[in-house]
Chain A
Amino acid sequence: MSDLLATATKTAASLAWRTFQSVNTRIPDSPSIQPTWAPGPLPKSYERTKPPLGWPRETDSLCPRCVIEVRDAIIAGERDISEFVERRAGEVRARINEEHGKLIIRKTCPTHGDFWDTLSIDPQFSALLERRFFGRDYRTAADAHVHRHGTSTIRYGRGAVLTIDLTNRCNMMCNPCFMDANQVGYVHELTLDDIKQILDDSISFKPRRQMSVQFSGGEPTMSPHFLEACRYAKEVGYYTVQAATNGLRFALEPEFAYQAKEAGLNMAYFQFDGVTNEANAHRQISNLFDAKWLAVERMHDAGIDISPVTTVVNTINDQQVGPILDFVIEHSDKMGAVSFQPVSFTGRDEEISDADRHAQRYTISHLAHAFAEYFDGKIDPYRDWYPLGAMGAFTWLADHLRGPDIDFGGVSCSCHPNCGASVVLALNSKTKAWGPLTEFFNVEQFVKDINVITDTSRGQGLSKAQAGLALLRNLDQRKMPSGLTVKKFLQLANRKMGGALDEKADRDTKEWNLMWIGGMWFQDLWTYDFRRTEMCVIPYATQEGEISFCAYNTGAGWRKIVENMHMVAKTSDWFKDKGRHQIYAGNRPMDLKPGTRALPVVEKRQLAVPHAGTVQLGSGCGCH
């Protein structure tokens, strides 16, 4: 009977959709609205651009040896920074092609010879991801004061995660780590004015979209301005603030999670290497997992979402990805997402031998097949994986539905399809029933339907009605996880779009969630592709403007240049003047004092004073 009802609902919705479209598509498209946050009218589907995709293809890349030489010379003061900004130092052409069932990138430097590396072990999987790419975001406008880094400049979109390194100080001593002041010999730490200027600049050009502001480091909670920075990010207008943290401060200081939550911290992007103390032993603290779990519980009690992040290295911890996802599903009441980052050979690893690099190389395609194997095909590489940018379709729909008079567009994770991919699970945090969203919802067709809705642009009321029909006609209720109903699914979809379908609907239903499982593959000198850099969605916001994550950390290596330009003290002078902070290392245990709390922190509310109201916007991508 229920199957009959499900079929009837789907058929009725499909019939209504086709009937409506038989008229709708015969009427000329209405002009798109131009929101105040955007540099132009919302583009139609046929107006959106894409980078060169498919293979064989050529692109701009880097010579792994030239770049290091130029960077070192700049830091030593022997060469000018304009080598990177204006003279394309270290750049070579690269060719991407399929060879022996793999996707390979090859390049030749006139000085240092040939280089090659693997981009994918499954070209069919990679082709599918590229086919599912939704299109670029707007080209940025009036951003010369923020984006001014030559060929490393970000040229498209606003990004999804604005990363701000508050300090390079850290309370751990991982090896290797080139962020920590103890190892690089200098302190690079932003003042509160620096932080405010960076955040002010971040909304000074278009498109002005919502982003997750991620405070990073070092250990960001070591900064004396961490809490104030969280508060100011909210004040500027961003609705999601996260910290890339090791969690030690949350474990050591019972009140800190509550203070951070009250200051505006929404999520901890949580360093997570394994589910036992032994699996974390390389971090030099003998009870590190205990400390991390205490931090998880305290952050969860305070209402801070937790998203563990694991770097995956082939032959080292590639067997852990399945168990870690299992662990996250088991603790889905505390963790709403998980990010796997295939290794990027940077820092000291730039000196890795070719043999080791080829052996340890891990790609998104490795990850997709590892899940398929671990979960006996329940997560299907070809059905369930979508590029991160595919979720941009939801953002465009939400932007369209919200109309022109809002300050920020929705989060648009419109990165290059080679940068990352994700699976979304519908998951019940109580019963642990779960299934991939794409098992029961035809995302590919839904994205096409969204294009029809946004292209014809018939006003908010009719667009919402069409969106509802599109959701229903692409939903196969018979394949939904046990306990998930149509009503709950529509609530989830509405929550995913930040309430764009129904602002007054309850978006706090915690039982069912859409869990994002991401694979984010940052570039390194061997896999570098400037077409990816110019679409970066994880800009590093610094005193020298916003720089692509990969250009900052792994490509040209702007991190070392910026930090050397703006260091505040030699580490020894800092310690002498301001005191030495505690560092947990030497395989000794931390002194943990577990405690429990009974009351939740109360969400920050609008003051009863004449302040401007804020509008919550939805996340299009779900990552971070």
Chain B
Amino acid sequence: MTDTISGTLEQRRDAASFPFGVRPEAAAPDRDGRGPDTMNRLLLHAARYHARDAVSLRWEEGRTEWGWQPMPDWRADRYTVRAALVLRQRLEVADGETVALWLPLSTEWPIVERAVWSIGAVSVPVWPEWDLERVAQVMADAQPAVLVAPDWEAVRQLRVIGGLPESVRGIVLWRGAPDDAQDALPFAQFLDYGGVLDTAERAAMWRTLTRGLSPDTAVSREYTSSGPLQWGKLDHRMLVAAVERMLRRFPAHAGRVQVLTTERPHPTLRALIFAGWVDGLTRTIFAATSEAQEHLEAFVPDLVVGPAESLGSVLRTVQAAAAAPEPPAPRRGLLARLLGVRSGDDTAPRRRPRAPTVRVLLTDGAPPALDDATVTMQFVEESEIDVFPIGPGMAGQGQ
């Protein structure tokens, strides 16, 4: 497969369904020339063609100040390579083995998940809201080789109830690293360790391995949240189709922003995140609901995803911000220009108001009456993305 694409950047920006509509040479035969047929191939291409400053943002304390920490495409890509190299070379995760991802939806989630299925392994999302017994059930059924856990306390509690299967060869902690966690790898070290492995030769090996996987290779096992334990298989073909539908449902444009205010790793949301990675234009913002109202004013997002019960006030804030008039540009007189005098606000960024067009509410219930542009996750799941239905009625392949 060639690595070249055609068209100018402007053409690509205008192509709502990128990458499926504008890259015939990148197409796989079984997709009728419409584009890559595995997530690995899709993302390998997409990471190289983008026009944004960050693929995702999160609010946190930086080294010198509080602020939005950007995750640029290059970093997301390198971290993926590094995580994958650690999984394959240090933890020796083999094709078809499972990796349990027990962490909230965050900037790190798509990196780790992509690293897992890029080497032919299968991710097992473990939702943070599940109780320990459910987690133990899933762990016993999935028999993961590696567990990415939220923190050491969670691992300890799981051990106490006998929920940590012997199949687990390695534990990666998303947060913290207590002294007694000798068999666990803190997340920073996980990536740093991978950085040492990340030589040009190993990166090339990873790409070769990644490109070679079949569209039928499993991406994840999606377990039911409650009731009898069931799971459904999500493979590359299905996820690519989901991403494509997301791109068509929520067309990309330069400066597009989508905000996620939930930590629930719902497969639809993950497809939405990867669609944002792929389109090369979208910035995905991970913001806790409690912080969202404060920060969303700065972004005026196109898409907001979150629990219905807490999202109403956030959306009203966003609407108000979008409706506010743009502050006038400061004026400079002839003398000021001649003498080079600048007003204090001359270089301040001026916000470009943009009305949000679509909001997605993550709920199974009736949406609150905000406006016609509001759609529910139920709508998205049932009408737009029917490739991986989740729930008791799904076609489970597990026990």
Contact = CB atoms under 8 A, between A and B. Distances in A.
Interface of A: 171, 192, 196, 200, 221-222, 224-225, 227-228, 231, 248-249, 252-256, 258-260, 262-263, 401, 403, 459-461, 464, 578-579, 581-582, 595-600, 602, 604-611, 613
Contacts of A258: 48, 74
B68 interface: yes
Nearest to A197: B63
Interface string B331-352: 0000000111100000111011
B177 interface: no
A596 B200 contact: no
Chain A CB within 10 A, most for which of B52, B192, B199: B199
A602 B51 contact: yes
Most buried by A among B78, B193, B340: B340
A608 B200 contact: no
A611 B348 CA distance: 9
Given A608-B351, A609-B298, A464 B4 contact: no
Interface stretch (B5-13, B136-144, B157-165): B5-13
Contacts of A192: 192
B48 A224 contact: no
A581 B195 CA distance: 12
Given A252-B201, A610-B349, A262 B73 contact: yes
A170 B277 CA distance: 33
B210 to A, nearest CB: 12
Contacts of A171: 199-200
23 contacts: A171-B200, A224-B82, A224-B192, A224-B195, A225-B195, A254-B48, A263-B72, A401-B340, A460-B340, A461-B340, A578-B193, A579-B196, A582-B201, A595-B2, A597-B4, A598-B6, A602-B50, A606-B349, A607-B53, A607-B54, A607-B57, A607-B68, A613-B347
A224 B198 CA distance: 7
B108 interface: no
B24 interface: no
The interface size bin for chain B is 35 or more
Contacts of B49: 599
B199 A263 contact: no
B299 interface: yes
A475 B341 CA distance: 29
A222 B5 CA distance: 29
B3 interface: yes
Interface of B: 2-9, 12, 47-54, 57, 63-64, 67-68, 70, 72-75, 77-78, 82, 89, 192-201, 203-204, 255, 298-299, 338-341, 347-349, 351-352
B74 A259 contact: yes
A359 to B, nearest CB: 39
Nearest to B12: A599
- Top 6 nearest A-B pairs (CB, nearest first) are A224-B195, A460-B340, A259-B74, A252-B200, A461-B339, A461-B338
Contact of B349 (A253, A604, A608): A608
Contacts of B351: 608
Contacts of B57: 607, 609
Report which residue of B53, B57, B200 has the largest number of chain A beta carbons within 10 angstroms of its beta carbon.
Answer: B200
A464 B338 CA distance: 9
A103 B51 CA distance: 56
A167 B55 CA distance: 29
B78 A259 contact: yes
Contact of B204 (A252, A579, A602): A252
Contacts of A256: 200, 203
Contacts of B2: 595
B9 A602 contact: yes
Q: Is the interface of A mostly helix, strand, loop or mixed?
A: loop
Given A464-B340, A579-B197, A604-B72, 19 more contacts: A171-B199, A222-B199, A224-B192, A224-B198, A228-B75, A252-B201, A253-B203, A259-B73, A579-B89, A581-B199, A581-B201, A599-B7, A602-B51, A607-B54, A609-B57, A609-B67, A609-B68, A611-B68, A613-B349
A387 B80 CA distance: 47
Nearest to A405: B342
A596 B48 CA distance: 12
A222 B49 CA distance: 24
A67 B6 CA distance: 60
Contacts of B339: 459-461
B117 to A, nearest CB: 19
A434 to B, nearest CB: 31
Contact of A248 (B74, B77, B200): B200
Nearest to B78: A227
Nearest to B254: A602
B347 to A, nearest CB: 5
Contacts of B70: 607
B338 to A, nearest CB: 4
A228 B76 CA distance: 12
Contacts of B201: 252, 581-582
A182 B308 CA distance: 59
Contacts of B299: 608-609
Nearest to B51: A602
A599 B53 contact: no
Contacts of B5: 598-599
A256 to B, nearest CB: 7
Contacts of B6: 598
A212 B175 CA distance: 36
A403 B347 CA distance: 15
Given A595-B3, A605-B53, A608-B299, A578 B196 contact: yes
A227 B77 CA distance: 11
B3 A597 contact: yes
Contacts of A263: 72, 74-75
B63 A196 contact: yes
Q: Which of A260, A262, A460, A604 has the most CB of B within 10 A?
A: A262
A48 to B, nearest CB: 24
Contacts of B74: 227, 258-260, 262-263
A401, A579, A596 — most chain B CB neighbours (10 Å): A579
Contacts of B194: 224
Nearest to B338: A461
A608 B255 contact: yes
Contacts of B12: 599
Contacts of B204: 252-253
B340 A249 contact: no
Contacts of A464: 340
Given A607-B68, A608-B351, A582 B200 contact: yes
A109 B146 CA distance: 66
Residue from B193, B195, B255, B341 whose CB has the most chain A CB atoms within 10 Å: B195
Residue of B51, B54, B201, B299 contacting most chain A CB atoms (<10 Å): B201
A600 B49 CA distance: 8
Contact of A253 (B54, B63, B200, B340): B200
Contacts of B347: 613
A342 B271 CA distance: 57
A221 B198 CA distance: 10
B10 to A, nearest CB: 11
Task: Identify the interface centre among A253, A259, A607: most chain B CB within 10 Å of its CB.
Answer: A607
Nearest to A460: B340
A403 B336 CA distance: 14
A200 B351 CA distance: 31
A254 B9 contact: no
Contacts of B193: 578
A254 B298 contact: no
Contacts of B9: 599-600, 602
Nearest to A597: B4
Contacts of A598: 4-7
Contacts of B67: 609, 611
Contacts of B255: 608
B110 to A, nearest CB: 17
B7 to A, nearest CB: 8
Contact of A255 (B48, B68, B82, B199): B48
Contacts of A578: 193, 196-197
B291 to A, nearest CB: 14
